[in-house]
Chain A
Amino acid sequence: MTQQPPLIGRVTRSSTRGFVGAIRAPEPDIPVFGSFCKADAQQGRSSVIGLIYDISVEDDGFTRQIATSPSAKPEEIADAQFNRHVPVEFSAVAVGYLAEDGYRYALPPQPPLSMATIQSMLPGEVRDFTRRTEWFSLVLGAPEIPADELLVAAIRFAAQARPQSERPPFLREAGGRCARLLGRDLVRLETVLGSLSG
């Protein structure tokens, strides 16, 4: 049976530069910073590939009551963390899209519409998308996001999606690409390469 990519939420707002999704999830299912996801666009004819760069856990009146209560019991705190489905909002920056003829490393022609499903990408999909590294420039050039930290996290995810033997050459190639893109900004380059090798 073919493995289905796990659903992590639905689009609440979007633009061609990225999209925001929401879900009510217990703690283990909350999306992870730097992970790859995809959302359907153009009535299913394309999928926008996103990197999750911001995750915010929303609260409600009850959560605030428990959090500020001096007498909250361990069971109640465990209940909030493991049972209550906390509303989570996450933002993804677009780093490419899957068209009918394969992956494109550019901003998508149309954003996903609201309520489009957002799925985590399976390791095989991550491997396929990251065979090329043109998406790095979309991350580093995106305004108002923690671009360097995001790129490092995403490269690590892409490396993890590969067999052990393929990881060192992939990381070397990624480092080389970073050097070309950040060659004129040695401080940033040092930070990125330092984080990658750390």
Chain B
Amino acid sequence: MSLDLPQVLPQVNALAEEAARRLENLEQLLRHANDGLSQAGQLERSAILERIARAGEHWPGAIPTLEPLEAAFECPPLPPEFNVVAADGSQVYPDRHSLSLFYLINTGSICVRAGRGTPPETVSRPQVVYEEEDLYGQFDGLIPSAMIDGQRDVAEMAELARLGAASKGKPTLAILDNGLLLWVAHQAGISLSPQVGKLLASYLEHLGELKSADVAVAGFIDRPRNDNVLSLIHLASATQGAGSEESGRRHPWRGLTDRALFSGRLRPFQRSARFQHASPVNQRFRDAGHAVEFFYLCLAQGHIVRVEIPAWVGERPELLGFVHAGLVDQCSTPEGFPYALVRAHELAVVTMEDRQALEDMLAGALLDRGLSASHSRKSQTKQWTGARRRHRL
């Protein structure tokens, strides 16, 4: 172990003290934010939308839907028979110190046929990418990690679309372990590169396939740090005044989250009102007929998660209720996180042992063809010093 723990200890203690001080401060801020939400709840929706329009396209808040801002909805019943599908992905980035340049995307998925008692169907799909065109493409140098993440996200959505099509005719809940806005496009903001645009188009196409199959799609975000509803409260608060673009952009409750706000407002299994993302990339989703909405869901006292859904799910009560009840049901075992997502992750994850086995396989294949199979000197020295030997026998 190279971390000098005695040196770290006083810093860790200071960190804990700071966390306790911050919590005290946040409780005060939370009272203000709660009052703000009550006040915003009294405003006409049109007045709020007018303020949002004035705040400009970079405003990072939540756009109200037709549901009252302060509403809390009870969990509806589940359909008697249904399927739950989930997909997750992992990746190995290209490493110039490795034996050869390549990257890997591994997608894991599961289809649970609820109520049948049969083992779920599980799939793991590895894809090794090594063509020069894919490794370099139009980029300056190697493909950026964010693009590989984007390809992984598209692969996850494609897998959900495949499972959704196979489940057609039976109520099906499709879950992703994250938000629904394609992250690489979300980060790119208003101007997308052609490569990101292509990924986004493919992602939206798969979302369209899920819509055609009537699948209730949901992105599940545990311990969310978002503050979109706080931004909305700030913008709509009476004291904030006319809401100029600059003053409305950021709320004054730094460190506070929507999760904290709703943890005092929702009882177990209740959901909040739906809101729409004000992110610029959501306009592209909206144009394609898949505007992304979200709500907060209480899974146990104080355990709030964020759920993202396409507007076509939010606007259909049977699909919305199915997402709500389906997620509550999925989170009963293990407590607080969907079973199907735990398994999809397990099927997708590339462990250090997997990676070592992949490298061994690659070394064998290269040597068979008379090619050199060696790591860079830097990588070799890290291997020498990184693993401590133990003599057990």
A79 touches B343 (CB 8 A): yes
Inter-chain contact A78/B119, CB cutoff 8 Å:
yes
B352 within 8 A of A: no
Main secondary structure of the interface of B (DSSP, over half): loop
Chain A 116-156 interface mask (CB, 8 Å, partner B; 1/0): 00000000000000000000000000000000000000000
B113 touches A66 (CB 8 A): no
Contacting B333 at CB < 8 Å: which of A14, A15, A71, A84?
Answer: A71
A56 sits at the interface (CB 8 A): no
Number of cross-chain contacts by CB at 8 Å: 51
For B86-128 the 0/1 string (1 means CB < 8 A from A) is 0000000000000000000000000011111111101000000
* Closest chain A residue, CB of each to CB of B337: A65
Is residue A45 contacting chain B, with contact meaning CB distance below 8 A?
no
Q: Are A83 and B119 in contact (CB under 8 A)?
A: yes
Q: Is the CB of B333 within 8 A of A75?
A: no
B112 touches A75 (CB 8 A): yes
A177 sits at the interface (CB 8 A):
no
In contact, A69 and B332 (Cβ under 8 angstroms): yes
Q: Is the beta-carbon distance between A62 and B119 smaller than 8 angstroms?
A: no
- B332-A75 in contact (CB<8A): no
Contact yes or no, B333 A76, CB < 8 A: yes
A69/B333 in contact, CB under 8 A: yes
Query: Is A75 a contact partner of B117 (Cβ separation < 8 A)?
Result: yes
Q: Mark A153-181, 1 if CB is under 8 A from B, else 0.
A: 00000000000000000000000000000
Asked if A81 is an interface residue, CB under 8 A from chain B, the answer is yes
Q: How many residues of B contact A (CB 8 A)?
A: 20
Q: Is the CB of B117 within 8 A of A78?
A: yes
Q: B227 CB to closest chain A CB, in angstroms?
A: 31
- The answer to whether B120 touches A75, judged by C-beta atoms less than 8 angstroms apart, is yes
Q: Which residues of B contact A84 (CB under 8 A)?
A: 343, 346
The smallest beta-carbon distance between B119 and chain A, in angstroms, is 4
The residue in B116, B334, B393 that gathers the most chain A C-beta atoms within 10 A of its C-beta is B334
Q: In chain B, residues 241-268, which have Cβ atoms closer than 8 Å to a Cβ of chain A?
A: none
Point out which of B115, B119, B346 has the most chain A C-beta atoms below 10 A from its C-beta. Answer: B119
Given the complex, which residues of A lie within 8 Å of B117, measured CB to CB? 74-75, 78
In the bound complex, what is the Cα–Cα distance between A73 and B340 (angstroms)? Answer: 12
Give the interface centre of A15, A69, A79 by most chain B CB atoms within 10 Å.
A79
Q: Are B333 and A72 interface neighbours, CB within 8 A? A: yes
Q: Which residues of A contact B122 (CB under 8 A)?
A: 79, 83
In Å, the complex CA distance between A72 and B116 comes to 13
Assuming A62-B334, A66-B333, A83-B122, is B393 touching A76 (CB within 8 A)? no
Complex-state Cα separation, A72 to B333, whole angstroms: 6
Q: Contact check, A65 vs B334: say whether CB atoms are below 8 A apart.
A: yes
Give chain B interface residues in 324-361, CB to chain A under 8 Å: 332-335, 339, 342-343, 346
Known contacts A13-B393, A83-B122; A75 and B116 CB within 8 A of each other: yes
Q: Which residues of A contact B342 (CB under 8 A)?
A: 62
Given known A66-B334, A72-B333, A78-B117, contact A15–B393 (CB-CB < 8 A): yes
> Contact residues of A with B, CB < 8 Å?
13-15, 62, 65-66, 69, 71-76, 78-79, 81-84
Q: List 17 interface pairs A-B (beta carbons < 8 Å), by A numbering.
A: A13-B392, A14-B393, A15-B393, A62-B346, A65-B334, A65-B335, A69-B333, A73-B114, A75-B114, A76-B112, A76-B339, A78-B119, A79-B119, A79-B122, A83-B120, A83-B122, A84-B343
A-B pairs, 9 with minimum CB distance: A74-B117, A78-B119, A65-B334, A82-B119, A69-B333, A71-B332, A72-B333, A79-B120, A83-B122
